Chains A and B, each alone.
Chain A
Amino acid sequence: AQSVAQPEDQVNVAEGNPLTVKCTYSVSGNPYLFWYVQYPNRGLQFLLKYITGDNLVKGSYGFEAEFNKSQTSFHLKKPSALVSDSALYFCAVRDRAGGYNKLIFGAGTRLAVHP
């Protein structure tokens, strides 16, 4: 079965510093990977995805993610964090078990950006 792991429950970053939110994956076949962000009491917002092509994927709000096949990782990054980036971030992988395209989510990482 496809799965993703987010090893950190929380990441703390000072505003203006670069941030990284980690994600590793375990898949059979080519991975389809996603990052979503959730603000309090809200649904999820799509940030970016990796399907194929360049290993560095650029997404919304200045975020990017680097696909690393040898390390089976898909870490989310941003060069300069904003306080408004504070939210819950989910990594996800597509699972086609049962003939349907489903998303399997990681446990989530809470990002706290301090002024």
Chain B
Amino acid sequence: GAVVSQHPSWVICKSGTSVKIECRSLDFQATTMFWYRQFPKQSLMLMATSNEGSKATYEQGVEKDKFLINHASLTLSTLTVTSAHPEDSSFYICSARDPNRYQETQYFGPGTRLLVL
């Protein structure tokens, strides 16, 4: 099946620093990737849709300058949490669509747990 990886799997950082999370499609090229945030015992909330070669589309209420998304290639999208604060601590999950499979299906990465101290 389609494989999506994330790196790192977990990260601890100090308040005020920036953290970059990578999302890669390993065996397919993904023109569209998605970034989600999940709080403990809650559902996934879509943060933004990342399109290769263009600006990301952010959901209402998500700060563009806080969560920088770069989709520089067909296999890599990055999410940078800038000037992280404890309230940014969460589980971040990316997904990607494989254009060679049914395009409505998203394949998810394993997630990145961020803890901001």
Interface size of B in residues (CB-CB distance below 8 Å) = 26
What number of residue pairs across chains A and B have CB atoms under 8 A from each other?
A: 58
Which residues of chain A are within 8 angstroms of B91 by Cβ–Cβ distance? 41
- A41-62 contacts to B, CB under 8 A, are 41-46, 49, 51
Instruction: Kindly state whether residue B100 has any CB partner on chain A within 8 Å.
Output: no
Instruction: Kindly state whether residue A102 has any CB partner on chain B within 8 Å.
Output: yes
Interface size of A in residues (CB-CB distance below 8 Å) = 23
**Nearest neighbor of A39 in chain B, beta-carbon distance:** B110
Q: Is there contact, CB below 8 Å, between B43 and A108?
A: yes
Q: Is there contact, CB below 8 Å, between A41 and B105?
A: no
Which residues of chain B are within 8 angstroms of A46 by Cβ–Cβ distance? 1, 105-108
Q: Is there contact, CB below 8 Å, between B93 and A44?
A: yes
**Nearest neighbor of A34 in chain B, beta-carbon distance:** B105
Q: Which residues of A pack against B, CB within 8 Å? A: 32, 34, 36, 41-46, 49, 51, 90, 94, 98, 100-108
Q: 8 additional contacts, CB 8 Å, given A100-B32, A100-B49?
A: A34-B105, A36-B108, A41-B91, A44-B95, A46-B107, A98-B57, A103-B106, A104-B46
